[in-house]
């Protein structure tokens, strides 16, 4: 059994090899504001009293930490690594509550297609923060 540090190293090595091959490599991890430790612990967050979701929230919090670590490991390259919450989206997972899939897809694509001056190592949810999109980890 290989430890997670080894898996991370393999992933980093694989990704780092692609950096020179793409003029604008992007990694967009699809997360959720439910995975924000800051929001989950803030009684002022509008979803504080209901958006707990057990293992789902925990797995997204882990993805968020991985995003931070990967952005750090890929600093100094042309990679941009961010986490994006597409917002509550009308799918079978949400019992078809929420916004249109095309809106969610465009939120993710925005960060996949950003220019080289764009941010890295950030967490975005335009649904949670319509002003700037950035939300706390």
| Sheet with 122-125: strands ordered across | 26-30, 80-85, 122-125
Q: Please say whether the beta carbons of 63 and 29 come within 8 A.
A: yes
What pLDDT score was predicted for residue 14?
A: 64
The predicted-structure confidence for 56-112, as pLDDT tens digits, reads as follows 999 999 999 999 999 999 999 999 999 999 999 998 988 899 889 999 999 999 999
User: What are 100-137's pLDDT values in tens digits?
Assistant: 999 999 999 999 999 999 999 999 999 999 999 999 99
The reported pTM is 0.85
Whole-angstrom distance, CA of residue 130 vs CA of residue 33: 13
Q: Which residues pair with 29 in a beta bridge?
A: 83
């Amino acid at each position: 059994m290989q430890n997670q540090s080894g898996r991370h190293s393999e992933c980093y090595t694989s990704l780092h090899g692609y950096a020179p091959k793409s003029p604008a490599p992007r990694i967009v991890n699809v997360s959720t504001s439910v995975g924000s430790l800051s929001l989950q612990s803030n009684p002022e967050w509008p979803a504080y009293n209901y958006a707990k979701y057990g293992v789902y929230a925990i797995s997204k919090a882990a993805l968020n930490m991985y995003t931070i670590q990967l952005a750090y490991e890929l600093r100094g390259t042309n990679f941009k690594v961010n986490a994006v919450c597409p917002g509550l989206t009308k799918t079978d997972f949400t019992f078809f509550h929420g916004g249109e899939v095309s809106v969610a897809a465009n939120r993710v694509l925005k960060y996949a297609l950003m220019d080289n001056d764009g941010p890295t190592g950030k967490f975005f949810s335009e649904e949670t923060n319509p002003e700037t999109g950035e939300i706390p980890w």
